[in-house]
Amino acid sequence: MSGPIPLQWPLALSALLFTLGVVGVLTRRNMIQVFMSLELMLNAVNLNLVAFARHSESITGQVFVLFVFTVAAAEAAVGLAIIIAFYRNKQTLNVDEFNLLKW
């Protein structure tokens, strides 16, 4: 347990968080929580990027995290707007009501 933190640690953490996010997306019925789980997954990806940026001694990974932030912010804004529009139409946030794919 000497020296810097091994690369495997953040990577493993990232894998676990990502899995957690996937489980959330797949199992939650509440749309807001589905979106929250998405944020979890994005954070896991960010962690990966930062870990590799340190490992490869490059700043690029961190710059990419900035872009991921941007996309996450945009996604949150648009996604929540969709949620509001959806709620206004259906009076529910149950994902199962998103069934226009099957007519």
Partner 1 sequence: MAEHLFFLYFAVAALICGVAMVSRSNLLHAALWMLAFFVHMAGIFLLLNAEFIAALQVMVYAGAILVLYLFVIMLLDVRELAKVRQRHASATVASLIAGVMGAIMVVVVARGTFNPIHGAATAALLASQGNVESVAIALFTTYLLPFEVASLILLVAMVGAIMLAKRRL
Partner 2 sequence: MTTTAWIPALPLLAFLCNGLFGSFYPRRWSHRIATAAVLAALALSIGTVIGLVSHSGHGPFLYGDLYTWIAAGTFRVGVGIQVDPLTAMMLVVVTGISSAVHVYSTGYMEGDPGYRRFFTYLSLFTFSMLLLVLANNFLLLYVGWELVGVCSYYLIGFWYEKRSAADAGKKAFVVNRVGDFGFGLGIFLIWVTFGSLDYHTVFAQAHTIVGQHIALLGMEVPTLTLICLLLFVGAMGKSAQFPLHVWLPDAMEGPTPVSALIHAATMVTAGVYMVARCSTLFDLAPVAADVVAVVGGFTALFAASIGLVQNDIKRVLAYSTVSQLGYMFLAAGLGAYGAAAFHLMTHAFFKGLLFLCSGAVIHSVEHGFHAAGVHADPQDMRNMGGLRAQMPATYRTFVVGALAIAGIPPLAGFCSKDLILERAFAHGNALGTLLWGVGVAAALMTAFYMFRLIFMTFHGEGRYPAEAESKIHESPVSMTRPLVVLALFSCVAGIVGWPELLGGPSLVHMGEGILAFLAPAFGHGHAAHAHELSEAVAWGLMGLSVAVGVAGIAIAYALYVGRPERAVALGRAFPQVHRVLLNKYFVDELYDVIFVNAIKTLARLLHRGFDVFVIDGIVNGTAIIIRDIGAGLRPLQTGRVNNYATVMLTGFVVIAVVASATWL
Within 4-43, the residues that bind partner 2 by CB under 8 A are 22, 25-27, 29
Q: Which is nearer to partner 1, 91 or 99 (CB)?
A: 91
To partner 2, the closest distance from the beta carbon of 51 in angstroms equals 20
CA 17 vs CA 5, 41, 44, 48, 66: distances in Å: 18, 7, 6, 11, 19
To partner 2, the closest distance from the beta carbon of 3 in angstroms equals 26
Q: Which is nearer to partner 2, 37 or 46 (CB)?
A: 37
Q: What does the alpha-carbon distance between residue 45 and residue 71 come to, in Å, rounded to a whole number?
A: 13
Q: What does the alpha-carbon distance between residue 64 and residue 46 come to, in Å, rounded to a whole number?
A: 8
- Judged by beta carbon distances under 5 to 8 A according to partner kind, the member of partner 1, partner 2, none in contact with residue 76 is partner 1
Q: What does the alpha-carbon distance between residue 18 and residue 10 come to, in Å, rounded to a whole number?
A: 12
Q: What does the alpha-carbon distance between residue 13 and residue 38 come to, in Å, rounded to a whole number?
A: 16
- Judged by beta carbon distances under 5 to 8 A according to partner kind, the member of partner 2, partner 1, none in contact with residue 73 is partner 1
- Judged by beta carbon distances under 5 to 8 A according to partner kind, the member of partner 2, partner 1, none in contact with residue 98 is partner 2
